[in-house]
Structure 1
């Protein structure tokens, strides 16, 4: 009897890595992506050690490193004084992981390389321009409706993975609440070719605390491999896109950040709403939510994409074991029972705390934060413990211990 395929809604990195991990275990998969091409707009790029271990398990690590930038260290800065408060070095984790570093690799690259690998499997299929528009769950299968070339088509599978983003059609079709809130300020991302490392000694990942305007700054390779820097700023509630994105405003913002002679070469501008939300449940019968369809968070700390890839690896492992008859179907309950609390504890709580630390206005609290960061960085035991948590290695080890 031929095994019914696992269906995946969404062809971003989370959906494709889920499919790839399943295909590598001889599970037939069909992926349906609404867009005609992979979205290459600047989005997530930070891959933490725990996630790099997972990417190694599906054969993607070497290519991720080759097409990204290795960032062993990261820094906390006091923006008003333009001084480094503390620096953390992932090399302290060399006895804890085979990947004691972070890799900055843009998510569209990850999606594209995973799609290429997926297409090598005869029992795997990837479809662009084919949105999932309806879901009909049943006790022994799941049926979806997709639209391709203007025509609706019904497709049946064993299970469905909804990895179709924060506005997930799958989540909405199942009427699963997306609990949480939206931050009042939007985030502005400016991408520039100016080299903050050579000019100011900024690490490839850096967080600038400021009671008036905190900033995240990090470097990516870019499609040309020549490197570019992304600066993330909060905007004032009520500001229009034009007020924030016009050339004079963006130039003034960067000049205030690090003044320089001549203008900044800005190659991309983007502004977006930021949410802290978690789906009320990650499973509904034979349908599962993963990645942004299950949880979204602010980008400070670079944890969102990582959490999604962790979803992908947990879910693909459970589904393949059940479909091969190695474990009972009841084991699929562990996905929601494990991944939802893990996201709340290690992604939601950390990203909210990261934002609060950077935007702290009280002088005494700011100084206390700085003192704590300095003490932590100076103490090898505390330094390691801090990185075990921020790198998500602690969450993965905790998850394995509970399995």
Structure 2
């Protein structure tokens, strides 16, 4: 019997997870990536308990965790008053998951780890520096036209997974609308060698509410494993890119958190932020996953996690279908589950997170702070809060969508 093949477009964390899961499920895999190597720019780096469970199910849990920092706690701060409002403890989830913590690890490390694993597997072909430039499908197969250093060629498969990012060629070629909006402000990420845990007393993940300029701080290992912190700030629409990334901007934004310390900034990144969800997640034998299907602001670290969940759900769906466990409606279930949960959990949660940090009304600010403090002081409320923020609730609810 001919082995079925899955074509995966995009070798980021979502695409590589999908490729490894597909290979382990018995599929032949064709993984193509337009870039010559995995992008190492500062991107998502927070992996929640529910996502660590899925990564562990691929047999790479221990290796993955060693790539990053285990973060049991995360904080909410009142930035103008330099006051810790609440410290959430993932240990509250100890009876809910084998991994009652978050792992702070740059997403390219997961992708590169999996690429090494894929090299060891039969019937898996990884093509870096190869771009998908065309797509055709019929009732039984998908044909991707690709272009690389060897010119134009075609790849045929039974299924195609588009994990090619927010500007997805696949989504655009299918004419699928990317519904939603773009925030007027941009986000500035400053990577610094300064140790905020030592100087400020904050956890590896800390959110600083400030109506004038909120800040997110989180620590990663860095490629040298010596540790570094990323500080995220909003940039008003009226501020130019040059102004936002200038030395003056760095000093002004980091200054309130550094006291008398001199900024040791090793990377600056400015990007636009979107809240968008694809109108459709499936077209015949082609499926969208990760940023190709949804994008959101990064406050809370949910977008990447949702993408890994997409990949996990999709491979299980295709496997069930190919084993004769359902008809076309089973394939449509992928969209019914993943789109609804992205809107209900990820989109709503990240929007709420942003509003909480930038609240201007003083009474409303204090009310939000009081609520967070009460949650942190109540074990049952904190458990419920963390179940939602770590997407454990979304995993459970996905199984309830027929």
Q: What band does the TM-score fall into relative to the shorter chain?
A: over 0.9
Matched residue pairs, number? 402
Q: Separation in 2 of the partners of 1:34 and 1:209?
A: 39
SS of the equivalent of 2:184 reads coil
TM-score by length of 1: 0.98
Could you say which residue in structure 2 is the equivalent of 1:125? 125
User: Alpha carbons of 1:106 and 1:272: their partners in 2 closer, same or farther (altered >3 Å)?
Assistant: same
Q: How does 1:111-122 map to 2 (within 5 A)?
A: 111-122=111-122
Alignment partners' CA distance in 1, 2:164 and 2:225 = 29
Could you tell me how far 1:400 is from its partner in structure 2? 2.3
- Give the structure 2 partner of residue 302 of structure 1: 301
Mapped partners of 2:4, 2:380: distance in 1? 50
Matches within 5 A, 1:7-46: 7-46=7-46
Give the match's secondary structure for 2:175.
coil
CA deviation digits over 1:316-335, x for unaligned, max 9?
Answer: 11112222444445311110
Residues 314-358 of structure 1 deviation map (CA, whole Å, 9 limit, x = unaligned): 001111222244444531111001000000011000000000000
> Segments of 4+ in structure 1 off by > 6 A?
none
1:74-223 mapped onto 2 (5 Å cutoff): 74-149=74-149, 151-223=151-223
Matches of 2:349 and 2:233 in 1, distance apart? Answer: 19
Q: Which residue of 2 aligns with 1:349?
A: 348
Q: Which range moved further: 5-14 or 239-248? A: 239-248
8 Å CA contact 2:200–2:257 kept in 1: the answer is no
Residue 231 of structure 1 aligns to a residue whose secondary structure is: strand
Q: 1:398 deviation in Å?
A: 1.4
Q: Which moved more, 1:142-151 or 1:308-317?
A: 142-151
What is the 5 A alignment of 1:239-318? 239-261=239-261, 263-318=262-317
Unaligned runs of 5+ in 2: none
Compare 32-41 and 321-330 and name the one that shifted more: 321-330
**How many Å separate the matches in 2 of 1:192 and 1:324?**
50
Query: TM-score normalised to the size of structure 2?
Result: 0.98
Q: Cα distance, 1:123 vs. partner?
A: 0.9
How many angstroms does 1:148 deviate by?
Answer: 1.4
In the aligned structure 2, how far is the partner of 1:397 from the partner of 1:32?
32
Compute the displacement of 1:247 (Å): 1.9
CA displacement, residues 43-74 of structure 1 (integer Å, 9 cap, x when unaligned)? 00100000011011001211121110000000
Partner of 2:392: 393
1:357-376 to 2 correspondence within 5 Å? 357-376=356-375
Q: What is the alpha-carbon distance in structure 1 between the residues aligned to residue 257 and residue 228 of structure 2?
A: 17
Cα distance between partner residues in 2 of 1:325 and 1:37: 37
Q: Give CA-to-partner distance per residue, 1:119-170, whole Å, 9 cap, x none.
A: 2111111110001111112111111110011611122110110000000000
**Counterparts of 1:303 and 1:226, CA distance in 2:** 25
Q: What is the rounded CA distance, in whole Å, between the counterparts of 1:258 and 1:138 in structure 2?
A: 59
Shift of 1:238: 2.8
- Secondary structure, in 3 states, of the residue corresponding to 2:189? strand
Asked if 1:336 corresponds to 2:340, the answer is no
The answer on whether the counterparts of 2:318 and 2:331 sit within 8 Å (CA) in structure 1 is yes
Q: Could you say what the CA RMSD is over the residues aligned between the two structures, in angstroms? A: 1.1
| Displacement of 1:245 | 0.8
Aligned partner of 1:64 in structure 2 is: 64
Q: Please state whether the residue corresponding to 2:225 is helix, strand or coil.
A: coil
Counterpart CA distance in 2 for 1:325 and 1:13 is: 29
Gaps of 5+ in 1: none
Tell me the SS of whatever aligns to 1:184.
strand
- In structure 1, C-alpha distance between the alignment counterparts of 2:258 and 2:355, rounded to whole Å: 23
